[in-house]
Amino acid sequence: MPAVRDEILAANAAHAADFGGAELAAPPARRLAVVTCMDARLDPASFLGLRPGDAHVLRNAGGLVTDDVLRSLAVSHHLLGTREALVIGHTDCGMLSFTNGDLRARLATDIDFLPFSDLEESIRTSVRAIAESPLLPESFGASGFVYDVASGRLREL
């Protein structure tokens, strides 16, 4: 049985054989950034109707607006022209299922893994972090959404 790595390389070879994206510009065509979770069930390009070149998609555990996400949004806005960000959390998120203590005990570390107990408040906090960031102008828009993994629907907060 081939390793997943081999399957990925074969899929990439097929993709490259008829690749047509060389003409895409670095700035996202829709002037949009999306911050969402790394959960494998989420395909933001599909559920947002995005095509290659449309948006910057930033993913991490929980879809949280961290300092690193703010850094990326600042680059995205100031150098590549994005004007707004969508923060998209999702139902059944794994970040709701543990505490720092749970993971710290397993890994013998004091890192903050940023778990949360309230999905909607987590999204609102991330939207506020964008709105209040000194790295982004007041005109930079931010909206929050919950993606339902059972129905595929977005709900705006």
Quote the radius of gyration of the chain (alpha carbons, Å): 17
Q: How is 44-59 classified by DSSP, letter by letter?
A: HHHHHT--TTSEEEEE
When divided into structural domains, the chain yields a total of 1
pTM, two decimal places: 0.94
Task: Check whether 2 has a pLDDT greater than 90.
Answer: no
Q: Which pLDDT does position 4 carry in this prediction? A: 95
Asked if 95 and 62 count as a contact pair (C-beta separation under 8 A), the reply is yes
Question: What does the pLDDT average to over 75-93?
Answer: 98
Comparing C-alpha atoms, which of 76, 81, 21, 83 is closest to residue 51?
21
pLDDT for 21:
87
Residue 13 lies in a domain: no
Domain assignment present for 3: no
Q: How distant is the alpha carbon of residue 48 from its chain centre?
A: 12
Could you report the per-residue pLDDT of 35-72, keeping only the tens digit for each? 999 999 999 999 999 999 999 999 999 999 999 999 99
In a domain, 16, yes or no: no
